[in-house]
Structure 1
C-alpha cells in the first residue's frame, strides 16, 4: 500500500534533530534522513512515535542514499 503524496509532504520526524522523511513502500517504513530513525507505516498510516522508532545504522543510511 502506498502513501498519499500529499500526506508525505505534511509529515515530519517528531525528533528534535529531524529531517526529511524517505518512504520505503516495500518495507512500509519512513526513515528520517537526518537522525536515522525508522518509523513503521501501519495500514497506510505513519506511526510517528519517537519511543517506537528504530534507529538505522549509518551503513543502512549510506546503502539507501
Structure 2
C-alpha cells in the first residue's frame, strides 16, 4: 500500500485552525502541512506544531526569509 506520511508536526484539529490567530498580529494563520508549521504571513513567523499541538510562543517561532 502507498500511504502518505503524516504531517511533520502531527495532525492539527481543523476546528482549532479556524480559531487560531497569530499572537503578535492577531491575524489569521495558514497551516503548512509539509513543514508542520502555522504560518503568519503578517508577522513573517512560522509557529511549530509538535504532536498536533501548535506552539504559539513568538520566541519559539521561526523567522521567515
Structure 2 length as normaliser, TM-score?
Answer: 0.76
CA distance in 2, matches of 1:29, 1:53: 9
1:20-48, CA deviations, whole angstroms, 9 ceiling, x for partnerless residues? 11101111000102111110000000000
Q: Could you list the structure 1 runs, at least 4 aligned residues long, displaced by more than 6 angstroms after superposition.
A: none
Q: Counterparts of 1:3-22 in structure 2 under 5 Å?
A: 3-15=12-24, 17-22=25-30
Unaligned runs of 5+ residues in structure 1 are: 58-65
Unaligned runs of 5+ residues in structure 2 are: 1-9
1:37/1:55 contact within 8 Å kept: yes
Structure 1 or 2, whichever has the larger Rg, is 2
Q: What is the number of residues matched between the two proteins?
A: 56
Higher RCO (Cα < 8 Å, 6 or more apart): 2
CA RMSD of aligned residues (A): 1.2
The alpha-carbon deviation at position 53 of structure 1 amounts to 0.8
1:36/1:56 contact within 8 Å kept: yes
